[in-house]
Amino acid sequence: MTSDAKTRHYDTVARAIEFIRKNAKRQPTLEDIAQAVHMSPFHLQRVFSEWAGLSPKRFLQYVTKQHAKACLLQSHSVLQVSESLGLSSASRLHDLMITSEAMTPGEIQSAGEGLRIGFGRGESPFGEALVAWTPRGICHFSFVDEDFDERVARLKVTWARATLTRDDTQALRWTTQIFARGVPRGPIHLVLRGTNFQIKVWEALIHTRPAEVLSYGRLAQKIHQPKAQRAVGTALSLNDIGFLIPCHRVIQESGEVGQFRWGTARKVAMQAWEQGIFGAPEQVPAGAMASSPTPGAH
């Protein structure tokens, strides 16, 4: 399926998500959802299958609050078992594919003086994206709806002294690589712009597994600052590299999706897409679970 087709499918998926969320209490049927997005049930089934290998029925299961809470509990348990057995992160393969470094204070303070930045419009399963990169790696990735030019203008303000060059062909290469089925093809390096605390939060997220979800409290624990939940939320809201720094994997302890700078429907879509491709969080062997400590409260 072409990138453009994925983007068109996302428009349908986003409308379906909005309908499902507004009517969650009455548990809409496939026919209800199809009618809401002005499609036949057969066509809607095909859209979901092509978009993420999911049936609408399975998608409905993935976007429920109950499923989110179950994933939270399982993510906590997997992490604790890994730690108690001395295992490396379950995201080992993903870790090898996405690496990061911080921009120097000089680069930030000088607004990128002497820095060459390419940027362009790419296609993704979640709509069109603005991608920007330096010779060292990707420094910006945001989702755009009708505001591409506005976001480019903001990028130019942020890097007022850098040399910015538009290259949509390279941007499309980036998005093709990022959204390949399975883990991204080849290593992707990120160049992060933020405070030391923000970078610590973002790097912790990079090391989570695809399809994993975790709470704000759990993320604060991962960076060894369990009382910093509010500051963690602020760091997520300032993330300029969407999807690759996966803020969409962080939800509220209650199972509610929570806020997302590129829209709640997009956040839900990302979670369901990852679970459709990578599967739900892995199961923990019963014996290991019995010997693991009880998850701490947030």
CA distance 137 to 133: 5
The catalytic residue among 228, 247, 251, 265 is 247
CA distance 37 to 18: 10
SS3 188: strand
DSSP string, 85-97: TTPPPTTHHHHHH
What are the distances in angstroms from CA 175 to CA 120, 130, 169, 271? 10, 10, 10, 18
Active site residue 247: yes
DSSP string, 274-285: HHHHH-SSPPPP
Contact of 291 with 77, CB cutoff 8 Å = no
Encoded amino acid at 252, one letter? Q
In the block, tokens 């290469």 appear at 173
Q: Dig out the tokens for 194 from the structure.
A: 């933020």
Contact of 130 with 123, CB cutoff 8 Å = no
64: left (phi over 0), alpha (psi -120 to 50) or beta: beta
Instruction: Cite the active site residues.
Output: 247
